[in-house]
Structure 1
Amino acid sequence: MRVDIYRRPEAEGRFSYLAVPEGKPIPQEATNVDWSQERRGVEMDEGQGEWAELGIPEPGRQLREKGYAITSVEEQPRD
């Protein structure tokens, strides 16, 4: 699946990532946060158990249920 990836800074030099299907807008419930575009049209395997480099667990489930996948608070990567 091709996704657009957004990033926002968190505490202690960590980041959260948001992945939405390519070309789709950020869902309304996530637009109240300052996301900056990181990458566009990235091919990712949503069948993986996690996207470790983004700290996103169960991306396929999140994309099906919410229309986007987001970093887990426990998994926030450092830059």
Structure 2
Amino acid sequence: MRVDIYRRAEHAGHFSYLAVPEGKIIPEEAINTDWELSDRGVDVDDDATQLPEFAIDDPHEQISAKGYAITSVKAI
């Protein structure tokens, strides 16, 4: 699967990341004017359980359930 990665600034110089299937728009419940495009067409292995560079857990499960995957609140 390929995804587009968006990011937004959080406290203390940290970022939250949002992964959306490549070419799709951010689903309405996740729209936030603070999201900015970070990376396009990032490859995600079919068996990936994490995207550690973006602190995203269970990317496939999150995308299947809600149309996007987001940084874990534990990582912010």
Q: TM-score, normalised by structure 1?
A: 0.89
Matches within 5 A, 1:23-62: 23-62=23-62
Unaligned stretches of 5+ in structure 2?
none
1:19 aligns with 2:19: yes
Number of aligned residues: 76
Unaligned stretches of 5+ in structure 1?
none
Q: 4+ residue runs of structure 1 moved beyond 2 angstroms?
A: none
Cα separation, 1, equivalents of 2:45 and 2:75: 19
> How much identity, in percent, do the aligned residues show?
57
Cα separation, 2, equivalents of 1:17 and 1:29: 15
Classify the secondary structure of the residue corresponding to 2:34. coil
**Displacement of 1:47:** 2.3
Give the superposed CA RMSD: 1.1
What is the aligned partner in structure 2 of residue 5 from structure 1?
5
Q: Which amino acid letter does the alignment assign opposite residue 25 of structure 2?
A: P
